Amino acid sequence: METQPPVLSLRKICKSFAGIQVLKEVDIDLYPGEVHCLVGENGAGKSTLIKIMSGAYQPDSGNLNYLGDSLNNLNPHWAREHGINTIYQEIDLIPTLSAAENISLGIEPLKPNGNIDWPVLRKRATKILESWGASIDIDVPVSNLKVACQQMVAIAKALSLNSKVLILDEPTAVFASSEVDLLFSIIQKLKSQGIALLYISHHMDEIFRIGDRVTVLRDGILIRSGLVTEFNKSSLVKAMVGRDIDLSQRNGSQSFGEELFRADGITRSGVVENATFSLRGGEIVGVAGLVGAGRTEMARLLVGADRLDKGSISLHGKLIKVGSPRDALMQGIGMLPESRKEEGLVLVRSVSENIAYSAVEKASRFGLVPWGKIRRLVNDVIKAVDIRPPRPALQVLYMSGGNQQKVVLSKLLLAGCDVMILDEPTRGVDVGARMEIYKIMQQLKNQGKAILMISSDLPEILTQADRILVMAKGRIAGELSANEATEEKVLSIALQLGEAI
Partner 1 sequence: MRTRLSPRLLMFAEKNSALMALIIVCLLGALFVENFASSLNLSAILFQYAIIGFLALGQLLVILTAGIDLSQGAQVAMISIVTAVLMKSTGIVPAVIGGLVMGALFGLINGFLVSRTKIPAFVVTLGMLGVARGLAQLFSDSKPVSIDVQSFVDFGRSNLAGIPVSAILWGAASLALAFFLGQRRLGRHIYAVGGSEESSRLSGINVKNIKLLVYVLSGVLSAVGGIIWTARLSSGSPLGGNGYEMESIAAVIVGGGYMFGGIGTVSGTVVGVLLFGVINSILNLLGISPYWQGTIKGVLILAAVALSQFRRVNRSR
Which residues of the chain form contacts with partner 1 (CB under 8 A)? 54, 56, 75-81, 86, 88, 92-97, 101, 105-106, 108, 110, 114-116, 137, 140-141, 144, 157, 270, 306
Closest approach of partner 1 to the CB of residue 91, in Å: 8
Q: Which is nearer to partner 1, 306 or 327 (CB)?
A: 306
Distance between CA atoms of residues 192 and 212, nearest Å: 13
3-class SS at 55?
coil
**Dist CA 427 CA 183 (whole Å):** 18
Three-state secondary structure call for residue 399 = coil
| 3-state SS, one letter per residue, for 262-324 | EEEEEEECCCEEEEEEEEECCCEEEEEECCCCCHHHHHHHHCCCCCCCEEEEEECCEEECCCC
Residues 297, 230: Cα–Cα separation, whole Å: 43
Residue closer to partner 1 (CB basis): 51 or 213: 51
Contact call for residues 191 and 209 (beta carbons, < 8 A): no
In terms of CB distance, is 17 or 78 closer to partner 1? Answer: 78
Distance CA 114, CA 108 (A): 10
CB 127 to partner 1: min, Å: 20
Map residue 259 onto helix, strand or coil.
strand
Which one, 147 or 247, has the nearer CB to partner 1?
A: 147
Q: What is the smallest separation between the CB atom of 54 and partner 1, expressed in angstroms?
A: 7
Residue 398 is given by DSSP the state G
Our CB check for partner 1 shows the closer of 134 and 453 to be: 134
* CA-to-CA dists, residue 404 to 102, 208, 430, angstroms: 30, 28, 12
**Least distance (Å) from partner 1 to the CB of residue 139?**
9
CB of 135 to partner 1, least distance (A): 12
- Please state whether beta strands 8-17 and 20-30 pair in parallel, antiparallel, or not at all (unpaired): antiparallel
How far apart are the C-alpha atoms of 301 and 308, rounded to whole Å? Answer: 6
If the CB atoms of residues 106 and 265 are measured against partner 1, the closer one turns out to be 106
SS3 label, residue 383:
helix
Q: How far is the CB of 471 from partner 1 (least distance, A)?
A: 18
Cβ at position 96, least distance to partner 1 in Å? 4
- The residue (of 1 and 140) whose beta carbon lies closer to partner 1 is 140
Nearest alpha carbon to residue 182 among 200, 155, 204, 205: 155
Nearer to partner 1, 106 or 226 (CB): 106
- Shortest Cβ distance from residue 258 to partner 1 (Å)? 34
**Which CB sits closer to partner 1, 1 or 94?**
94
Report how far residue 286's alpha carbon sits from residue 31's, in angstroms, rounded to the nearest whole number.
Answer: 41
Alpha carbon 212 to its chain's center? 24
Considering beta carbons, is residue 18 or 368 the nearer one to partner 1?
18
Q: Residue 315 in contact with residue 261, Cβ under 8 Å?
A: yes
- Going by DSSP bridges, is the β-strand pair 310-315/259-268 parallel, antiparallel, or unpaired? antiparallel
Give min distance, CB of 77 to partner 1, in A.
3
Smallest distance, partner 1 to C-beta of residue 215, A: 23
Within 332-428, residue ranges assigned H as helices are 351-363, 371-385, 401-414
| Least separation in angstroms between CB 172 and partner 1 | 20
**Of residues 51 and 467, the one with the C-beta less far from partner 1:** 51
Q: Is the peptide bond before 95 cis (omega within 30 degrees of 0)?
A: no
